[in-house]
Amino acid sequence: MRIFMNLCKDKLAIASLVFIAVLITAGLFAPVFAPHNPEEVNMSLRYAGPSWEYILGNDHLGRCILSRIIYGIRPSVLWVFAALFISVLIGSILGFLAGYFRGKNDAFIMKLCDVLLSFPGYVMALALVGLLGVGLENILIAFILIKWAWFARVIRTSVMQYAELDYIKFAKASGISHGKIIWKHIVPVTFSDIAVISSSSMGTMILQISGFSFLGLGVQAPQAEWGMMLNEAREVMFTRPELMLAPGLAIVLVVMALNFLSDSLQVALDPRLLNSNKGNQVMAPVSKIKIQEKEVPN
Amino acid sequence: MGSYIIKRLISAIPLLFIISLITFGLINLSPMDPAKVVLEAQGVPKITEELIAQTKADLGMDKPFIIRYFDWVVACLHLDFGTSYVTGKPVWSLIGPAFLNTLKLTTVSSAAIIVLSILLGVACALTAGRLIDKSVRGLSFFLTAMPSYWLASLLIWYFSVHLDLLPTSGMASVEHYILPVTVITVSYVGIYFRFVRSSMLSNLNEDYVLYGRACGLSEWKVTMHILRNSLQVAVSIFCMAIPIILGSTVVIENVFAWPGLGSLSVRSILNRDFPIIQAYVLILAAAFVLFNTISDIINAAMNPKLRNGL
Amino acid sequence: MNILEVKNLKIWDSQTGKGIITNSSFQLKQGSCLGIVGESGSGKSVTCRSIMRLNKPPLRQSGNILFKGEDLNTLSEKDMRRRRGKNLCMIMQSGMSAFDPSNVIGVHLHETLSEHFGWNKAQVAEKMGHAMRSVMLENPLEMMNKYPHQLSGGMLQRTMIALSIVLEPDIIIADEPTTALDAISQFEVVDQFVKLRKQMGSSIIFVSHDLGAVKKMADEVLVMKDGEIVDRGDIQSIFSESQHEFTKYIVSARMALSGNFNNLMRSV
């Protein structure tokens, strides 16, 4: 509740939250919100400008751009959310195993993470897509396979911090089951760290995945996806540059909203940052890992 | 110091070994039979069982995994990455020049990113909380949220089409560098200047800054001390950034038709030309490990505490 | 003659509006030593830094700080900088963190002395060498080529004292100079301070929560609590006949501690 109150003080964060909520709703109920069928070709409306019927105009096949944007929320945002959720889940489970039980499991999991993190993530995603074949599912699978290691490592650090505390040791000594300790005492306190790191990767992931689609490695025509739409718009860039605007701005707005939200979340969870000039977080030794996460702003 | 460098280099070897094993193993994880891929890639009209068996024997794919792996590693050490499935040319003859082109782009961009990040980071740290700091950070928020290929397209439209000032694609002259380098720089500076800034800010609170001022040192000298200490962290981060930039020029190269690794790899992925993908991953992963190692060595060299402990 | 007169000093945080020092006035006599005692967080360090005008930006200060009749609070930054080091010299709590960790300590010494006197390396080495030997630091030349982490806290503390000997300031402000040291180094450093006073006749502001050190050094004492000066007086009266509750409390706490220590020592 306190976290929510803190978040409320930040108007920008509220605006971002509302924006993302609206976007998710629009994406989930795309058929209700979209005025037209996104794949309906109408050659008589090629490159038509905005009109009351087609608010954002029509593309090179006369399809409704607004409807394509709304349907595009699904692959561009919702599926990315899902992929992020899965990789955070894998990362959390392994992170908890490693950080709480330590010992051999820990050493093994961390070695595995080290190896995975020593690959440039973006290149590996590209290679996996190359092996699995072109398509959105394969891009998502590639990202899940690559990102979990980073989450596992950060979550392990966070879990270790709390697992060393006296009250956890006391709980262990008094014979409470491990499952119960983790669930009742460690999950709630590490949850904030997990929320911050996952929200901060969301924007990067949307950019990267839309970049793959832009290269033609993701969603295949005629399905609507923002990166894909930009790819199509690029073909006619010299004559119809305005087609680049709507999908591009959609990506910029979503990523900005997510980044604002992630920053505010960080402040809301750690009010110390608020007083000490937002964003001055002192460099932690994890910076080297951090930088790998912030890899590619495509 | 010397022994540390050697130790650090040796410790990178097992990692390189694992990387090569994974890179090689990946091809075998592919759901498709490589022999079939080869035939498809070469556009053979009718693929029969005999043809697949024949191709397998030709490519040495009937040997056990371990033997193939060692053959491959030995060949790779001689820069022999096999032959392209599609064109039948040696992979190195395709990837070598492409790598060089990407390296050129990366070098120029990295230099621009490092210089700008330091300048902006220092400017923001010194004006923390005031107008310059706030506006630069606000702008960086917007720029880092921008898909780089979108920015690239907008710049091409404005500077090349609208104003007709700069070339849109290729790498024939110096002018060809301007747009791609600008795009890469813009997308990364927003991230890296923050590291310089926060590192400067945390140093500003150190006692030695207070004591320096209390001894009457000029603000310039105090700032140089802060910079010296802040850059220690920044240098290792920049070192890490170079292979990341090297690997992420993929999209930009495609937009600007830059004849580099990125364009080549995407084409290979679309054609399922495995040997090229393999070589691409191996080279970049090795670069990643190499720069990681260099980053650690530089860090140790710059930090007297570490240096003397070696 | 008062060399330093602080009148109505107020310090507050401009971001939160919270007052840190509500209203302080005190004087430092020429050649004397003023001790400031109090719990941590009572505003001792902030007061010291406000004299040098070195508090961090969100902190603002008002009032008069008269140094030889001149108000430091109204000086330009450039004039103020010239007085730092030369007229007002500071000795920090932790020698370990007071020197730039990436440079040998000679760099700081050289920069400071060339700033104020325009000396070259050889002159700095000569004068510093002399001063460092006088505070019992052997091999000064070798020391000047070492990094802070290669030296001990006590050695760095004495290096700071040596630097202030060379600078010959009018006022030395020592902010908890013994707190970070072990007992033996503490004794040595306090000893050096006593000698320094005798030799140079500088006025000293000596901040500490170590009442033993203050008793050895100070002529007069200020007792601070929550940003206010709650009690003041000369050293004898503070230690033996203070009427103030808080002063009695900290003096008795100190007595209890040392009493305990003495008992322990006797029983050994």
- With respect to residue A57, please indicate whether it lies within any of the assigned structural domains: no
Picking from A120, A134, A230, the nearest residue to B149 by CB comes out as A230
Chain C contact set for B207 (CB, 8 A): 92-94, 97-98
Chains that touch A (3 or more CB pairs under 8 A): B
Looking at residue C260, its pLDDT comes to 62
Percent pLDDT > 70 in chain B is 94
Looking at residue A277, its pLDDT comes to 40
Q: Indicate yes or no: CB of C92 within 8 angstroms of CB of B218.
A: no
Q: Specify the higher pLDDT residue, B18 or B57.
A: B18
CATH of residue B193 = 1.10.3720.10
Angstrom distance (rounded) from CA C38 to CA A62: 79
Percent pLDDT > 90 in chain C is 0
What number of CA atoms fall less than 13 Å from residue A2's CA on the CB side? 5
Angstrom distance (rounded) from CA A259 to CA B145: 8
Looking at residue B168, its pLDDT comes to 73
Ramachandran angles phi, psi of B152, nearest 5° = -60, -45
Q: Name residue C104's beta-bridge partners.
A: none
Whether residue C118 is predicted with pLDDT greater than 50 in this model: the reply is yes
Looking at residue A188, its pLDDT comes to 82
- Mean predicted confidence (pLDDT) in A46-72: 79
Picking from B22, B154, B244, the nearest residue to A120 by CB comes out as B244
Picking from B217, B229, B305, the nearest residue to C112 by CB comes out as B217
Chain B contact set for A211 (CB, 8 A): 147-149, 250-251
Whether residue A194 is predicted with pLDDT greater than 80 in this model: the reply is yes
Q: Specify the higher pLDDT residue, C31 or A45.
A: C31
Picking from B207, B229, B232, the nearest residue to C94 by CB comes out as B207
Looking at residue C65, its pLDDT comes to 87
Picking from C54, C92, C101, the nearest residue to B229 by CB comes out as C101
Chain C contact set for B218 (CB, 8 A): 81, 115
Domain that holds residue B254: 99-272
Please state the domain count of chain B.
1
Chain B contact set for C52 (CB, 8 A): 213-214
The one-letter amino acid at A48: A
Whether residue A296 is predicted with pLDDT greater than 50 in this model: the reply is no
b/e map C144-170, b = 16+ CB within 10 Å: bebbbeebebbbbbbbbbbbbbbbebb
Looking at residue B219, its pLDDT comes to 87
- With respect to residue B18, please indicate whether it lies within any of the assigned structural domains: no
Whether residue A281 is predicted with pLDDT greater than 70 in this model: the reply is no
**Confidence band, pLDDT 50/70/90 cuts, at residue B112:** very high
Q: What is the distance in angstroms between the Cα of B4 and the nearest Cα belonging to chain C?
A: 19
Domain that holds residue A214: 2-32+72-273
Q: Indicate yes or no: CB of A295 within 8 angstroms of CB of B244.
A: yes
Residue-wise pLDDT for A160-190, tens only, equals 888 888 888 888 888 888 888 888 888 888 8
- With respect to residue A52, please indicate whether it lies within any of the assigned structural domains: no
Q: Which residue of A has its CA nearest to B185?
A: A297
Residue-wise pLDDT for A76-128, tens only, equals 889 999 999 999 999 999 998 888 888 888 888 888 888 888 777 788 888 88
Looking at residue A271, its pLDDT comes to 56
Chain C contact set for B216 (CB, 8 A): 81-86, 112, 115-116
Residue-wise pLDDT for C161-220, tens only, equals 888 888 888 888 988 887 777 777 788 888 888 888 887 778 889 888 777 788 888 888
Chains that touch B (3 or more CB pairs under 8 A): A, C
Q: Name residue C70's beta-bridge partners.
A: C67
Q: Give the fold, CATH level 3, of C2-267.
A: Rossmann fold (3.40.50)
Whether residue B42 is predicted with pLDDT greater than 80 in this model: the reply is no
Q: How many CB pairs under 8 A join A and B?
A: 177
Angstrom distance (rounded) from CA A104 to CA A91: 17
**Confidence band, pLDDT 50/70/90 cuts, at residue A7:** low
Percent pLDDT > 70 in chain C is 94
Q: What is the distance in angstroms between the Cα of A130 and the nearest Cα belonging to chain B?
A: 4
Angstrom distance (rounded) from CA A26 to CA A14: 18
Chain B contact set for A296 (CB, 8 A): 244, 247-248
Q: What is the distance in angstroms between the Cα of B237 and the nearest Cα belonging to chain A?
A: 7
Q: Give me the residue label for tokens 């006692």.
A: B207
b/e map B136-153, b = 16+ CB within 10 Å: bbeebeebbbbbbbbbbb
Instruction: Mean pLDDT check: name the lowest of A32-46, A51-65, C253-267.
Output: C253-267
- With respect to residue A6, please indicate whether it lies within any of the assigned structural domains: yes
What number of CA atoms fall less than 13 Å from residue A152's CA on the CB side? 28
Q: Indicate yes or no: CB of B251 within 8 angstroms of CB of A215.
A: yes
Looking at residue A293, its pLDDT comes to 43
Residue-wise pLDDT for C128-154, tens only, equals 888 888 888 888 888 888 888 888 888
The token duo for A216 is 């033609």
Q: What is the distance in angstroms between the Cα of B203 and the nearest Cα belonging to chain C?
A: 10
Q: How many CB pairs under 8 A join B and C?
A: 88
Q: Kind of pairing, strands C171-175 and C88-91? A: parallel
Please state the domain count of chain A.
1
Residue-wise pLDDT for B128-166, tens only, equals 878 888 888 888 888 888 888 888 888 888 888 778 777
Q: Specify the higher pLDDT residue, A125 or B171.
A: A125
Residue of B144, B149, B202, B249 best to disrupt the A interface, most CBs of A under 10 A? B149
- With respect to residue A295, please indicate whether it lies within any of the assigned structural domains: no
The one-letter amino acid at B277: I
Q: Give me the residue label for tokens 């040098």.
A: C52
Whether residue B210 is predicted with pLDDT greater than 70 in this model: the reply is yes
What ipTM did this prediction achieve? 0.86
Residue-wise pLDDT for B124-138, tens only, equals 988 887 888 888 888
CATH of residue A213 = 1.10.3720.10
**Confidence band, pLDDT 50/70/90 cuts, at residue B117:** very high
